[in-house]
Amino acid sequence: MPLNTVIFDMDGVLIDSEPFWEEAGKETLALFDIALTPEEYISTTGLRTREWIDWWFTYFNVDKRHAKEAESSIVSKAIEKIRDHAVVMPGVNYIFEFFRERNFIIGLATSSPVALIDVVTEKLRIRNYIKEFSSAEELPHSKPHPQVYLNCAEKLNVSPLSCVCFEDSFNGMIAARAARMKCVVVPAPLQQHLSYWSAANFKIESFHAFDETVLEQLQ
Active-site residue (options: 11, 54, 63, 211): 11
Our answer to whether residue 33 is catalytic in this structure is no
Domain boundaries, the chain: 5-16+87-218, 18-85
Residue 82's pLDDT is what? 95
Question: Mean pLDDT per 10-residue run, the chain (219 residues)?
Answer: 96 93 95 93 85 95 95 94 95 98 98 93 96 93 94 98 97 97 95 94 97 95
Residue 120's pLDDT is what? 96
Residue 47's pLDDT is what? 81
Active-site residue (options: 9, 16, 63, 211): 9
- Give CATH for domain 5-16+87-218: 3.40.50.1000
Residue 114's pLDDT is what? 93
Our answer to whether residue 63 is catalytic in this structure is no
Residue 18's pLDDT is what? 86
Which of these, 82, 30, 83, 87, lies nearest to 60 by C-alpha position? 30
